[in-house]
Amino acid sequence: MELRVEKVPTGLRVDIDGVAGHEQVLLERIRECRRGAWACASGECMNIGTMDERARDGHLILMLAPRPGAQLSATGIEQCLQYTLQALAG
């Protein structure tokens, strides 16, 4: 699985390749983390306000915007998603 996180004017764009068959599980884990029901190592996903998702052919694109009053750290989100991806592969 390959992960790329980049800053965009509205927040962060996340590209994840090689997740064929795991897209929905990965999205649910991120949603749970945002709600605080399942925490990743950095806890950064709890700063996600909105998340637009597109999944196709084992490729997942997430457009993340911060919660009001919060900021998103590209490094923190990358750590969170690495943790989540490792949990899926484990």
Cα 29 from Cα 19, distance rounded (Å): 13
Cα 49 from Cα 2, distance rounded (Å): 24
In the structure, what pLDDT confidence band is assigned to residue 60 with cuts at 50, 70 and 90?
very high
Query: Residue 90: what pLDDT?
Result: 62
Q: For residues 33 and 21, which has the higher predicted lDDT (pLDDT)?
A: 21
Cα 84 from Cα 86, distance rounded (Å): 5
Q: Give the start-to-end residue ranges of the domains of the chain.
A: 2-89
- Number of other residues whose CB lies within 10 A of the CB of residue 13: 16
Q: Please, which residues have CB within 8 angstroms of residue 35's CB and are 6 or more apart in sequence?
A: none
- CATH architecture, domain 2-89: 2-Layer Sandwich (3.30)
Residue 15 forms beta bridges with which residues? 4, 61
- The predicted-structure confidence for 28-50, as pLDDT tens digits, reads as follows 888 887 877 566 667 788 889 99
Query: Residue 38: what pLDDT?
Result: 60
Contact indicator for 6, 12 with CB cutoff of 8 Å: yes
Length of the chain in residues, anyone? 90
